[in-house]
Amino acid sequence: SQTIHQWPATLVQPVGSPLSLECTVEGTSNPNLYWYRQAAGRGLQLLFYSVGIGQISSEVPQNLSASRPQDRQFILSSKKLLLSDSGFYLCAWRPGPTATGELFFGEGSRLTVL
Partner 1 sequence: TQLLEQSPQFLSIQEGENLTVYCNSSSVFSSLQWYRQEPGEGPVLLVTVVTGGEVKKLKRLTFQFGDARKDSSLHITAAQPGDTGLYLCAAKRGGGSNYKLTFGKGTLLTVNP
55 near partner 1 (CB under 8 A): no
How far are the Cα atoms of 9, 16, 96 from residue 91, in angstroms, in the given order?
12, 23, 15
CA dihedral 68, 69, 71, 73 (to 10 degrees): -70
104 near partner 1 (CB under 8 A): yes
21 near partner 1 (CB under 8 A): no
User: For residue 75, which of 63, 62, 65, 60 has the smallest C-alpha distance?
Assistant: 65
Residues 56-85 that bind partner 1 (CB under 8 A): 57, 59
7 near partner 1 (CB under 8 A): no
Which of 11, 21, 24, 32 touches partner 1 (CB under 8 A)? 32
42 near partner 1 (CB under 8 A): yes
